[in-house]
Chain A
Amino acid sequence: MTAKRIGWGAVVLGFLAFFVAVPPLTVRSPIVVIVIAVAAMAAGSYAITAGEKRLGWGGIIAGMIGLVGGYAATQSGVANLERVVVWGALGAATLRYATPLIFGAVGGLFSERAGVINIGLEGMMLMGAFFGAWGADVTSSWLLGIVIAIAAGAVFGAIHALFAVSFRADQIVSGTALNLLAVGVTGYLFVEVYGDLGTPDDLPSVPNVSLPIDWLPLLGDIFGDLNLLVWLALAAVLMTWVFMFRTSWGLRLRSAGENPLAAETAGLNVVRTRYLAVMASGGLAAMGGAFLSIGFLHTFTQNMTAGRGFIALAALIFGRWRPGLALAATLLFGFGSALAQRLPVFSPSGAVLFQALPYVLTLIAVTGLIGRSIPPLALGRPLPRN
């Protein structure tokens, strides 16, 4: 057996330690959990000594999570467990929570793969949230609401590009500025247009897609009645992957982020490429915002994105600037939120700590403990004046 296989085995065992303790298996003996978790950590350690550091550490961490989670589950009541761990509902909630993150992360991918750091995702998402709601309200159409949201996000992206690409500004400073500006602009317009009453109750909302798969166990509960934007988010990941790694446009975009001087020499218009990439980034992030306001909550409140743009950025880094891995990261973070929402059955306050999980994981990821995240080489470097 190769070290790689053992490493993967360690990861699987780690999650298994948690999985056996919750419904439907609901093993009540803590010894089973401990044995499986320790096996996971041992396999992980072996994988590290055999040279598979990243997987090995992943296995050890999975083992620790499984140990803590699984042990906690064996110590709590079966009735409580069955109320919390409803896989179908958890799966659907995971996708719901992940959707704005997916749009944000995919949006960030466009910008950062082209070499422009996008700290402003949060602001672009917030713009999408407000203009999605406002557009849907004014035009009485959720579809036009989304279109207006995308336009607003793209405009913000264009501002970011103007400063970051044309003016060669510091990209982190200008992104931070956009976040601050978005809070001000959306807050001002919201108070000006809607006052104390808030957005109207009859705000058009993006419909759910009902699939005739009720009879399927589990899958029916998860995928049977999802919002259209959830499906669009998943489609966006696939299309981004195809675009980025299977088309020549994607290759050009990536070359602008990896080696812009060489790309320029080869005849690529790096400035224009970066402009388009950052504007696409804004439009995608704005769709995530629009999901929050007219897909999920059916209202707009001031600063409603509440850091989701930053979690999306975290997912992008955690997912090493790759669409598939970034999707996995957003699902992991979304699962954390879905679980946190149900955990108050046990401890009302402890569940709050779960919200910090994405940030802790990303912090670990960027330190390189589980394999370093290597950003696009020219990330944050504007073209010099010629």
Chain B
Amino acid sequence: MSAPPDSELPPNITVASRMATFFRGGGILAPLITILVAFLAGGLVVLATGHNPIETYQAIFKGSGFNWFFPWLSEDDRIIAALNLQQTLILTTPLILTGLAVAFAFRCGLFNIGGQGQYILGSIFAVWVGSSFDGMPALLHVLVAMLAGVLAGAVWAGIAGLLKALAGTNEVISTIMLNWIAIWTGVWIFNLGSPLQNDNPDQVDVPVSNDIVEGAKLPVFWGDPQLQGLHIGIFIALAALVVFWVLLNRTTLGYEVRAVGFNPDAAEASGINVRRNYVMVMAICGAFAGLGGALDLLGWQFRIATNDIQTHTLAFFGIAVALLGRNTAIGTLLGALLFAGLLTGTSVRNLDPTVFEPQLATNLTYMIQGLVVLLISTDVLVVYLLRRRRRK
């Protein structure tokens, strides 16, 4: 079969430009309606299986700790709400960063599904550096461990960028493959008798890493460090949001990234080095995700087991976070807060089991996440909204 010229095929629209319709239209309304529809659908499933959706969502909200902001809360409830909110904010940190890893790529017209692998690489290197070099000055140790995570993530994602630039390899396929290579490498490296398995004589049979030494742990500033209080990683994540915004809107690189994202051919014609952009953008995405992995390890997990790596799903939420947040800094923050609240509110630790079984609720979170991404994948909703607005 002889190949038809490209002009005879339907247009090959980049993700970024296709999404642009969605992001331009409907203002804040479209994401809000998306969330509403997803929660309604989730509620219907809860109702159909014989539970009370309103009570369930109330319990999840209470478990997320967001009720801490209500001024009328009693003193006792406020203490519990504070504990819950700390957990939510602990999860907000990696969700912001994995969200940025997806959002930044989208702005360049790339789809980075590899947040998971980049996050895992970041956590492997952070735990390696953070559990070795005992006796290094504390501040320096934290910084070095974080940097190791950032670089590992950047290199891992950079592979996908490099392959795209040199061989035109589709980044979706390569990042998916890199995810699984990262997972199995992680499972191997902490396994029995492997290089990074712990050297604690009592835990010879446990496939888990060494513990992060005291000097490399991020300080807790709200709550009790013994009860998994909130570590300062959230401020680093907020700083990353600022970096993301500045990088995108106030630098030449950001301008080029957006130009490539909208139309790579036009960008190339106007003298932008598109290939170099692909590599840079993927590396920056990986740096965000790798930082997320490093902060989780240095902030509250302190060790990583092969099992954690295999059952890890956090980085996938980054896709929903970025899409819901319309690939903007403030949107990513709000999206991260929403999903962190959902995850915390449905966790075994926080959800009242007499109202709704946490195991069910965790899956409800996955469903809502899936529905959000599904609804955002199309611009039908927005086109509908725009038409309504025009009619008025």
Of A179, A188, A310, which is within 8 A of B367 by CB? A188
One of A29-37, A210-218, A357-365 contacting the partner: A357-365
Of B173, B180, B194, B370, which is within 8 A of A182 by CB? B370
A259 touches B4 (CB 8 A): yes
In the bound complex, how far is the Cα of B13 from the Cα of A381, in angstroms?
8
CB distance from A113 to the nearest CB of B (A): 12
A381 touches B192 (CB 8 A): no
B188 touches A350 (CB 8 A): yes
A202 in contact (CB, < 8 A)? no
B10 touches A258 (CB 8 A): no
In the bound complex, how far is the Cα of B320 from the Cα of A377, in angstroms?
29
Given the known inter-chain contacts A187-B363, A188-B363, please indicate yes or no for A180 contacting B174, CB distance below 8 A.
no
CB distance from A182 to the nearest CB of B (A): 7
Q: Which residues of A sit under 8 angstroms from B379, Cβ to Cβ?
A: 167-169
Nearest to A356 among chain B residues (CB) is: B184
Given the known inter-chain contacts A184-B369, A363-B174, please indicate yes or no for A167 contacting B187, CB distance below 8 A.
no
A262 touches B172 (CB 8 A): no
CB distance from B385 to the nearest CB of A (A): 14
B170 touches A349 (CB 8 A): no
In the bound complex, how far is the Cα of B175 from the Cα of A310, in angstroms?
12
Given the known inter-chain contacts A307-B180, A350-B188, A368-B167, please indicate yes or no for A170 contacting B363, CB distance below 8 A.
no
Is the interface on chain A under 10, 10 to 19, 20 to 34, or 35 or more residues?
Answer: 35 or more
Number of A-B contacts (CB under 8 A): 183
Listed residue (A168, A178, A314, A372) with the most chain B CB atoms within 10 angstroms of its CB: A168
A174 in contact (CB, < 8 A)? yes
Nearest to A164 among chain B residues (CB) is: B377
Q: Which residues of B sit under 8 angstroms from A179, Cβ to Cβ?
A: 370
Given the known inter-chain contacts A176-B113, A314-B177, please indicate yes or no for A377 contacting B374, CB distance below 8 A.
no
A172 in contact (CB, < 8 A)? yes
A180 touches B366 (CB 8 A): yes
A348 touches B374 (CB 8 A): no
A172 touches B15 (CB 8 A): yes
B370 touches A366 (CB 8 A): no
Nearest to B366 among chain A residues (CB) is: A184
Q: Which residues of A sit under 8 angstroms from B357, Cβ to Cβ?
A: 191
Nearest to B168 among chain A residues (CB) is: A368
Q: Which residues of A sit under 8 angstroms from B192, Cβ to Cβ?
A: 348-349
- The number of residues on chain B lying at the interface, defined by a beta carbon within 8 Å of a beta carbon of chain A, is 67
A261 in contact (CB, < 8 A)? yes
B9 in contact (CB, < 8 A)? yes
A77 in contact (CB, < 8 A)? no
B36 in contact (CB, < 8 A)? no
Q: Which residues of B sit under 8 angstroms from A366, Cβ to Cβ?
A: 163, 167, 169-170, 173-174, 177
Of A180, A317, A381, which is within 8 A of B11 by CB? A381
B363 touches A352 (CB 8 A): no
In the bound complex, how far is the Cα of B371 from the Cα of A169, in angstroms?
14
A356 touches B373 (CB 8 A): no
CB distance from B119 to the nearest CB of A (A): 16
Q: Which residues of A sit under 8 angstroms from B12, Cβ to Cβ?
A: 380-381
A2 in contact (CB, < 8 A)? no
B378 touches A168 (CB 8 A): yes
A359 touches B364 (CB 8 A): no
A384 in contact (CB, < 8 A)? yes
Of B111, B163, B167, B320, which is within 8 A of A180 by CB? B320
A188 touches B45 (CB 8 A): yes
Nearest to A317 among chain B residues (CB) is: B173
The 8 A CB mask of A260-296 against B (1 = contact, 0 = none) is 1110000000000000000000000000000000000
Q: Which residues of B sit under 8 angstroms from A177, Cβ to Cβ?
A: 370-374, 377
Of A173, A261, A302, which is within 8 A of B323 by CB? A173
Q: Which parts of B347-381 form the interface with A (CB within 8 Å)?
A: 357, 359-360, 362-374, 376-380
Given the known inter-chain contacts A172-B15, A180-B373, A360-B181, please indicate yes or no for A191 contacting B359, CB distance below 8 A.
yes
A49 in contact (CB, < 8 A)? no
The 8 A CB mask of A149-175 against B (1 = contact, 0 = none) is 000000000010001000111101110
Listed residue (B111, B194, B362, B373) with the most chain A CB atoms within 10 angstroms of its CB: B373
Q: Which residues of A sit under 8 angstroms from B193, Cβ to Cβ?
A: 347-349
CB distance from B228 to the nearest CB of A (A): 25
Q: Which residues of B sit under 8 angstroms from A310, Cβ to Cβ?
A: 176, 180
In the bound complex, how far is the Cα of B174 from the Cα of A254, in angstroms?
25
Of B163, B185, B378, which is within 8 A of A169 by CB? B378
A356 touches B180 (CB 8 A): yes
CB distance from B171 to the nearest CB of A (A): 10
A104 in contact (CB, < 8 A)? no
6 residue pairs bridging A and B, Cβ less than 8 Å apart: A119-B176, A188-B364, A192-B360, A349-B192, A378-B9, A381-B10
> 8 closest Cβ contacts across the A-B interface?
A181-B370, A184-B367, A184-B366, A180-B370, A187-B363, A177-B374, A349-B191, A169-B378
**A interface with B by C-beta (< 8 Å):** 119, 159, 163, 167-170, 172-174, 176-185, 187-188, 191-192, 258-262, 302, 306-307, 310-311, 313-314, 317, 347-350, 352-353, 355-356, 358-360, 362-363, 366-368, 372, 377-378, 380-384
